[in-house]
Structure 1
Amino acid sequence: MFEVMGYHLLTLVCHCLILTLAILFLWSSAMVFINKCPNIPEVKIPNDLTLNVARSLRYEINMGFATLWVIGQDHELKKFLIVVAGLWILSVHGSCCNFLTLSYIVPVLYEQHGDKVDAFGDKAMLELKYYTIFDEKCL
């Protein structure tokens, strides 16, 4: 729907916030006009939830950086070129559609081909374990 209308997620969020702010302002002004105290609840995000989300996100980003570091330091041209080609293909596809569309497509593709993706991921993790054992014992 967003692609057809040419509407983006950030634009939708901004328009929803503008509408909420306008309604809040009009409600507060109307209550003052009729000499009533507005009873508007305050909305807050809890600190522990925010910290847990930030920690999880930081951990995942660090794991991604560590994986890229291992691939960059691995001295295997084939693996390096495969990762570069994959990132390049991802960037080309990313320029064709926005993040919201990708967030709808990726889970559907994973449901259809999850067994192949998991098998490939398991194989890659097994190879990385062999490299770390080789690195610890020989280097």
Structure 2
Amino acid sequence: MAEHGESADAKAEQSLMEKISEKIHHESSSSSSSDSETEKVTPAEEETVKEKVFRLFGRERPVHHVLGGGKPADVFLWRNKKVSAGVLGGATAIWVLFELVEYHLLALICHILIGVLAVLFLWSNAHTIIYKSPPSMPEVKLPEEPFLQVASDLRHQLNWAFALIHNIASGKELKKFLMVIAGLWVLSIIGSWCNFLTLFYITFVLLHTVPVLYEKYEHKVDPLAEKATIEMKKQYGVFDAKVLTKVRETVLKNKRS
């Protein structure tokens, strides 16, 4: 009986060891297969996957780089909340003064200069009376580089706009021509609703809100923009087949005749 019990215990231990070894072998085989699967993904395939991801306006860089990557981009994307809030608050104050209070620019500049000069004059006389010596007034000199940089950037943008207008006016890009006409028409409608200052303020507020919201929710916006782009391309294809093709054929017939 004792020998029978010992043999049963030995068989149980052997079966337990076999189960453990099978489990270890299964885990190692699964991990090796998963490693092999992960090793199959090459960097070239990863790049192709990244290229397939739709980005709004076809951008390949982050939003911060698209906006210029400097201090203006930091302000628009609220990298420093105090500076961004101060800039937006200053623009709001200017809009309230000129649009709601109906203040005039020349009057505002003159009143600001009167206040600054009066404060400096009184402070200079008080300092001379109290300390028996005139205060040291710092000289204000504007640096040349920022103005040259702004002028250079403005010249570059104007040259790009003139080149685009020349290209469209030459009759080579029908799609761009229609897009520019539609954009100018929409802009004229918006301009008839509000004056230039209000339009500038709305644009300024949009620059302080839309980029930061897009950067935060771009994983949700990009799929919706992709669907909208596909639908617009379909509608443009239908418009091209039904209208633009006939216009081209008519123009060619007139040229031949």
Interval containing the TM-score (normalised by the shorter chain): 0.5 to 0.7
8 Å contact kept, 1:71–1:80: yes
AA in 2 matched with 1:6: L
Show the counterpart of 1:6: 100
In 2, distance between residues paired with 1:70 and 1:49?
32
Larger Rg computed on CA atoms: 2
Closer/same/farther in 2, CA of residues 43 and 100 from structure 1, 3 Å limit: farther
The CA deviation at 1:70 is 0.6
Bigger relative CO (Cα 8 Å, ≥ 6 apart): 2
Task: Give yes or no for contact 1:71–1:79 (8 Å, CA) kept in 2.
Answer: yes
In 2 relative to 1, CA 71–65 (structure 1 residues): closer, same or farther, beyond 3 Å? same
CA deviations over 1:13-41 (Å, ceiling 9, x no partner)? 962x4454223321343234756534332
After superposition, the C-alpha distances for 1:90-139 in whole angstroms (9 at most, x for unaligned) are: 1221342321222222564455488559xx8xxxxxxxxxxxxxxxxxxx
Residue in structure 2 matching 1:24, options 112, 116, 119: 116
Which of these residues, 194, 203, 206, is aligned with residue 102 of structure 1? 203
Q: 1:6/1:59 Cα in 2 relative to 1: closer, same or farther (>3 Å)?
A: same
Change (3 A) 1:20 1:40: farther
2:142 maps to 1:41: no
Distance change (3 Å), C-alpha of 1:26 and 1:76: closer
Instruction: Tell me how many residue pairs correspond in the alignment.
Output: 116
Residue 88 of structure 1: aligned partner: 185
Residues 24 and 103 of structure 1: is their aligned pair in 2 closer, same or farther, counting only changes over 3 Å?
closer
Does structure 2 retain, via aligned residues, the 8 Å contact 1:9–1:100?
A: no
Give the alignment's TM-score, normalised by structure 2.
0.35
SS at match of 2:140: coil
State how far apart, in whole Å, the 2-side matches of 1:9 and 1:45 are. Answer: 28
User: What CA distance in whole angstroms lies between the structure 1 residues aligned with 2:104 and 2:137?
Assistant: 26
Q: Provide structure 2 residue ranges, at least 5 long, that are not aligned to the other structure.
A: 1-91, 230-257
SS of the residue 2:134 aligns to:
coil
1:35-74 equivalences in 2 (<5 Å)? 36-74=133-171
Deviation at 1:87, TM superposition (A): 0.9
Aligned residues: CA RMSD: 3.7
Task: Flag structure 1 segments of 5+ consecutive residues without an equivalent.
Answer: 121-139
1:56 shift after superposition? 0.8
